């Protein structure tokens, strides 16, 4: 098999840029949640890299839990259909919750997730996302921490997949046309 680098068309964000921005986001989270009992909720599978790198830059003794939801299937377009594939193990009643995501595309996943988690009696529910596509928004989502706003192009890497591959790229980039079978 080819190396992943040959499948990239363009690197949008380098590993250094991603990690630098995560350090800034973590510092803000440290300040905003000082003295509170924060629960990070990672959204599988895309948020795995962001969760791991963000959590290690936060100085507070946070808890981490995971949900698996899916809206994309294996293609490149958002369907708007959100399914819970794995629910939280944690009771959210009275908790300060920070949802950790890799990307907000249409906003449909997080819009649904926000109201779902809020209905469980959390004290607060906020969102941290590494990437956001403002031009793809179908629904407005109030996001507390954003890494980077990016153009409305299909990107992979740093947790983001194309047909379940390329999540392990350390950078974020666009795929070369030959990958799509063109």
Which residues lie near Mn ion (CB under 5 A)?
Answer: 46
Residues 6 or more apart whose Cβ sits within 8 Å of residue 127: 98, 99, 101, 104, 110, 114, 141, 142, 143, 144, 145
Q: What is the dihedral of CA 42, 48, 49, 50, to 10 degrees?
A: -10
| Interface with ligand PRP, residue 154, by CB under 6 A | no
| Interface with ligand PRP, residue 72, by CB under 6 A | yes
Selected binder of ligand PRP within 17, 70, 116, 124 (CB under 6 A): 70
- Among this protein's residues, is 105 annotated catalytic? yes
* Nearer Cβ to Mn ion (80/94): 80
Tokens 């629910």 belong to 87
Q: Which one of the listed residues 7, 53, 102, 105 is annotated catalytic?
A: 105
Q: What's the CA gap between 67 and 63, in Å, rounded?
A: 14
Selected binder of ligand PRP within 42, 46, 157, 173 (CB under 6 A): 46
Two tokens, residue 80: 């708007």
- Nearest distance in Å: CB 159, Mg ion: 9
State the residues that interact with ligand PRP by CB under 6 A. Answer: 43-46, 70-72, 78, 101-109, 161
Query: Catalytic site residues?
Result: 105
């Amino acid at each position: 098999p080819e190396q992943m680098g040959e499948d990239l068309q363009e690197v949008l964000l380098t590993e250094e840029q991603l990690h630098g921005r995560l350090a800034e986001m973590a510092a803000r989270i440290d300040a905003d949640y000082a003295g509170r009992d924060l629960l990070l909720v990672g959204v599988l599978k895309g948020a795995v890299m962001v969760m791991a790198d963000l959590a290690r830059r936060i100085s507070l003794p946070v808890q981490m839990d995971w949900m698996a939801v899916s809206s994309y299937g294996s293609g490149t377009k958002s369907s708007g259909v959100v399914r819970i594939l794995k629910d939280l193990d944690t009771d959210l009643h009275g908790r300060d919750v920070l949802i950790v995501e890799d990307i907000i595309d249409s906003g449909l996943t997080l819009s649904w997730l926000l109201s779902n988690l809020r209905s469980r009696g959390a004290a607060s529910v906020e969102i941290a996302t590494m990437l956001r596509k403002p031009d793809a928004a179908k629904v407005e989502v109030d996001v507390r921490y954003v890494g980077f706003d990016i153009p409305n192009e299909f990107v992979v890497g740093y947790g983001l997949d194309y047909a379940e591959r390329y999540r392990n790229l350390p950078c974020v980039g666009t795929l070369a046309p030959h990958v799509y079978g063109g």
